[in-house]
Structure 1
Amino acid sequence: MTADDGVEYTPTELDRDATFYVAGHRGLVGSAIVRKLESSGFSRLVGKTSAELDLKDRDAVFAYMADIKPKYLVLAAAKVGGILANSTYPVDFLSENLRIQTNVLDAALANDVERVAFLGSSCIYPKFAEQPIREESLLTGHLEPTNDAYAIAKIAGILNVQAVRRQYGLPWISAMPTNLYGPNDNFSPKGSHVLPALIRRYDDAARSKTASVTNWGTGTPRREFLHSDDMADAVLHLMEHYDGPEQVNVGTGRDATIREIAETIAHVVGYEGETAWDATKPDGTPQKLLDVSKLADAGWTSKISLHEGLERTVAWYRDHVNTIRE
Structure 2
Amino acid sequence: MFKNRLKLDFTYYNKLYYNLTRSAGISNSSGFTSTLINIDEEYVGRGVELTLSGDIIRTRDLKWESSFNWSRDRWYYTKIDPVYSTQKPWVAVGKRWDWYGIYDWERDSQGNLVNYNGYPKQSDYQSVIGYEYPDWIWGWTNTVTYKNFTLSFTLDGRVGGMAHSKTNQAMWNSGAHIDSDNQWRYDEVVNKKTNFVGSGVKVVSGSVDYDSNGKIIHDNRVFAPNDVQVSYESYMKSTNPYIGTVTRQNVFDETFFKLRDLSLSYQMPKSVCDKLHMKGLTLAFVGQNLFVWTKEFRFTDPDSDSDNLSSPSTRYLGFNVKLDF
TM-score range relative to shorter protein: under 0.3
Identify which of structures 1 and 2 has the higher relative contact order when contacts are C-alpha pairs closer than 8 Å and 6+ apart.
1
TM-score by length of 1: 0.21
> Is the strand fraction higher in 1 or 2?
2
TM-score by length of 2: 0.22
Question: Which protein shows a greater Rg?
Answer: 2
